[in-house]
Amino acid sequence: MPCNMESMNYTFTEAEKAEIQRHIEKYPDRRSAVMPALWIAQEKFGWLSNDAIRLVAETIDIPYAHVYGVASFYTMYFKEEVPPHLLEVCTCFTCGEIGGEEMLAYAREYLEADEKGRSKDGLFWTRSAECLGACDTGPVCQITNRRYVHRLTKEKVREVIEALRAGKEIPYEPIPLNDQSILDD
């Protein structure tokens, strides 16, 4: 959930500080807590501005450059304000071969997205994902760093978009371990 930067107070609550401290205590080197602390900051502020990254560095008591390096390396950390919903469609080799590129293109078309993949209504951002690790159930997409939607079709893409527009959470989609249809495809 994006925040207005002008009115943003970059501080953690006592509960958030305590949660970060629990992460610090799990590791022999406090730098190891940077990823969960960044996640807490992103959940709170909607994205990781330089001020949010600085807050994480100060809270963990490690150099800003280290925190910035981690935040800029991983795609799950947003370094710019983002719409409420991110649809990342895997276009890596397996998903790409079985329709990932087509599903990404369809989602962008359906959403009337601009060249950066942002929807006309400002609610969605679509982008390609390198690999989501679900090759056996592709093409697959991940919704805002959380849920996966497996075996994408145009119909599923439309259903997901409309459910998110309606404020519904996408349910967990279990894939049976012995799913025979995977072998039959």
**pLDDT tens digit sequence for 150-164:** 999 999 999 999 999
CB 83 within 8 A of CB 124: yes
Question: Given this model, what pLDDT does residue 4 score?
Answer: 46
* Intervals of CATH 3.40.30.10 along the chain: 85-167
Q: Which of 87, 79, 170, 175 is nearest to 124 (CA)?
A: 87
Task: Give the chain's residues under pLDDT 70.
Answer: 1-7, 175-185
Q: Return d(Cα 124, Cα 171) in angstroms, integer.
A: 18
Residue 160: other Cβ atoms inside 10 A: 20
The reported pTM is 0.74
* Intervals of CATH 1.10.10 along the chain: 5-73
Q: Return d(Cα 69, Cα 6) in angstroms, integer.
A: 25
* Residue 51 half-sphere exposure toward CB, CA atoms < 13 A: 13
Q: Return d(Cα 83, Cα 179) in angstroms, integer.
A: 35
Question: Given this model, what pLDDT does residue 145 score?
Answer: 84
Helix (H, G, I), strand (E, B) or coil at 85: strand
Question: Given this model, what pLDDT does residue 1 score?
Answer: 42
Question: Given this model, what pLDDT does residue 176 score?
Answer: 56
The CATH-assigned architecture of domain 5-73 is Orthogonal Bundle (1.10)
**Residue 28, Cα to own-chain centre: how many angstroms?**
28
Looking at the domain covering 85-167, what would its CATH class be? alpha beta
